[in-house]
């Protein structure tokens, strides 16, 4: 059980340490697996803690993993009311002629946006990707500009798109790190669209095609995301799986076969689920401590965190997490709700897991003249006695 200890660290600051009883044991976990991939990453989707990585910031051709962004843009257009799933998009000669994987749309016809979206996600259709790009932006080049603007908005600093398909271009690149963060944004921002990534097959124009992500058949916890292949990129896969409320995302790039990308992805996911756990330790807006207030119309204010604190840590070491709250010993009104008043720090075996500001959970207005005068006198004498001590 955790015990609360209060220590006067420095004048004007409380340090509240919540530590596990007894000595804190250093976590013992096995090393990450050897992964036959030129670039790879394993990340927890909720805490965004990177668990394993190798060359994750290296710029590489993303192949059809590009279509994660293509589909994200489509869903953004739907979400913002600029596009409807039942709209019919005309199919151009350019879209029909696009090489590589296809959903087999026909030149001169019209196809529903919902069908094109399934063709992009499930069948990895290059023809569907060009068709939707032309319909939304007028041309594939203009759509690529939208993709790059969205990448910038999501903080994908090592990504540049020149097309909607991922067909080879030396100036079209991304990284394992950026692709993982794009996938997290997709799952969080568009959960309804994300359900399509677990669909195992789709039939269009009387042609049924299976989802290329074979992990959907091998591991029931896997529910996405996307495969990719070109000669320059090799065989790539972004995979996502959820077990007991923990979601992990793996990215493997540059493997030498379809079987290899499945095998190496499963290695990473199995390692992560076996050795790590993720929990939300503090909820936003919940009172963690009351603090004295001076010069205000209230004597105390509750402190908490502005956002949920979700932490990933080695499995079995929850009780060894140490919590420290560094707090100013009083606050002076007036102040607004959400004002920083300290810091919450979580550590395990001396390594910082997380830090976040402690904030006021309510606003406090300034008191009247007599209230301020009384507090001023009290603090004056308190400082004298503190100096003498």
Which entry of 39, 47, 101, 124 is annotated as an active-site residue?
124
Is residue 67 part of the annotated active site? The answer reads yes
Angle CA 277–278–284, to nearest 5: 160
CB 350 within 8 A of CB 316: no
Angle CA 148–149–151, to nearest 5: 60
In the chain, which ranges are E strands?
A: 2-10, 13-20, 39-44, 50-54, 88-90, 110-112, 201-204, 207-210, 222-230, 234-243, 246-255, 276-282, 289-294, 300-304, 309-314, 322-328, 331-332, 340-348, 351-360
* Environment class of 313 (CB within 10 Å of its CB; exposed 0-12, middle 13-18, buried 19+): buried
Is residue 221 part of the annotated active site? The answer reads no
Spatial distance between the Cα atoms of 380 and 388, rounded to a whole number of angstroms: 13
Decide: helix, strand or coil at residue 151.
helix
Is residue 139 part of the annotated active site? The answer reads no
Alpha-carbon distances of 170 from 115, 153, 161, 167, 323, rounded to whole Å: 30, 23, 10, 10, 48
Residue of 36, 35, 43, 39 whose CA lies nearest to 240: 43
Which entry of 39, 47, 67, 250 is annotated as an active-site residue?
67
Q: Which residue has 């909607």 as its token pair?
A: 164
Answer left, alpha or beta for residue 108, where phi above 0 means left and psi between -120 and 50 means alpha: left
Which entry of 38, 39, 64, 101 is annotated as an active-site residue?
64
CB 126 within 8 A of CB 101: yes
Helices (H), the chain: 67-79, 93-97, 113-121, 126-137, 140-153, 176-189, 191-194, 215-218, 258-275, 369-388
Catalytic center residues:
64, 67, 124
């Amino acid at each position: 059980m955790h015990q609360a200890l209060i220590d006067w660290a420095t004048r004007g600051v409380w340090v509240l340490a919540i530590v596990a009883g007894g000595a804190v044991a250093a976590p013992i976990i096995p090393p990450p697996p050897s992964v036959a991939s030129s670039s790879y990453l394993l990340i927890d989707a909720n805490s965004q803690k990177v668990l394993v990585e190798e060359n994750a910031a290296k710029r590489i051709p993303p192949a059809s993993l590009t279509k994660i962004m293509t589909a994200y843009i489509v869903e953004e257009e739907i979400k913002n009311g600029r596009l409807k799933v039942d709209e019919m998009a005309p199919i151009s000669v350019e879209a029909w002629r696009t090489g590589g994987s296809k959903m087999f749309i026909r030149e001169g016809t019209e196809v529903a946006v919902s069908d094109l979206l399934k063709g992009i996600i499930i069948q990895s259709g290059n023809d569907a990707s060009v068709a939707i790009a032309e319909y939304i932006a007028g041309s594939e080049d203009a759509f690529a500009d939208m993709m790059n603007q969205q990448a910038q908005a999501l903080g994908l600093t090592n990504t540049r798109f020149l097309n909607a398909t991922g067909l080879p271009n030396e100036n079209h690149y991304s990284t394992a790190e950026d692709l993982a963060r794009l996938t997290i944004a997709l799952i969080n921002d568009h959960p309804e669209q994300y359900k399509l990534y677990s669909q195992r097959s789709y039939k269009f124009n009387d042609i049924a095609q299976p989802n290329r992500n074979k992990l959907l058949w091998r591991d029931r916890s896997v529910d996405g995301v996307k495969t990719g292949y070109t000669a320059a990129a090799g065989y790539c896969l972004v995979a996502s799986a959820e077990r007991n409320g923990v979601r992990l995302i793996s990215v493997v790039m540059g493997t030498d076969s379809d079987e290899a990308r499945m095998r190496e992805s499963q290695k990473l996911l199995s390692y992560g689920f076996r050795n790590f756990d993720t929990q939300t330790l503090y909820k936003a807006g919940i009172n963690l401590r009351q603090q004295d207030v001076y010069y205000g119309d209230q004597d105390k204010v509750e402190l908490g965190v502005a956002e949920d604190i979700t932490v990933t840590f080695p499995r079995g070491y929850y009780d060894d997490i140490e919590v420290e709250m560094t707090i100013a010993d009083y606050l002076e009104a007036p102040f607004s709700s959400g004002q920083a008043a300290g810091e919450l720090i979580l550590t395990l075996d001396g390594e910082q897991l997380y830090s976040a500001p402690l904030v006021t959970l309510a606003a406090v207005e300034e008191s009247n003249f007599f209230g301020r005068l009384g507090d001023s006198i009290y603090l004056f004498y308190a400082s004298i006695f503190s100096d003498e001590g």
